[in-house]
Structure 1
Amino acid sequence: MSTFWKELMSKLGVKINASTAYHPQSDGQTERVNQCLETYLRCMTGERPKEWCDWLHLAEWWYNTSYHSTILVTPYQALYGQPPPINVPYVAGDSVVAEVDRSLQHREAALKMLKFHMKRAQDRMKVQADKKRREREFQVGDWVFLKLQPYRQQTVVSRGCQKLAPKWFGPFAVLSKVGKVAYRLQLPEGSRVHPVFHVSQLKKRVGTDKVQSDLPVVDPDGSISKEPCRIIDRRLGRRGNRAVTEVLVEWSNSFPKDSTWEVLHLLKQRYPQFDT
Structure 2
Amino acid sequence: MAFHPQTDGETEWVNQEIEVYLRAFCSKEQTRWKEYLPLAEFTHNNRTHSVLKKSPFFMMMGYHPRPLPTIFKRTTIPSIEERLQELKRIQEETASLLELTRQQMIRREKQKLDTFEKGQKVWLEAKNLATGYLSKKLAPKREGPFKILEVLGPVTYRLDLPHQWKIHPVFHAALLSLYKETEAHRPSFMEPPPDLIEGFEEYEVEAIVGHRLKKRPQEFLVSYTGYDSSHNRWIRMEGMVNCLDLLKKYIKRHKLKPKDPIPIPAD
- Range of TM-score over shorter length: 0.3 to 0.5
With normalisation by structure 2, the TM-score equals: 0.40
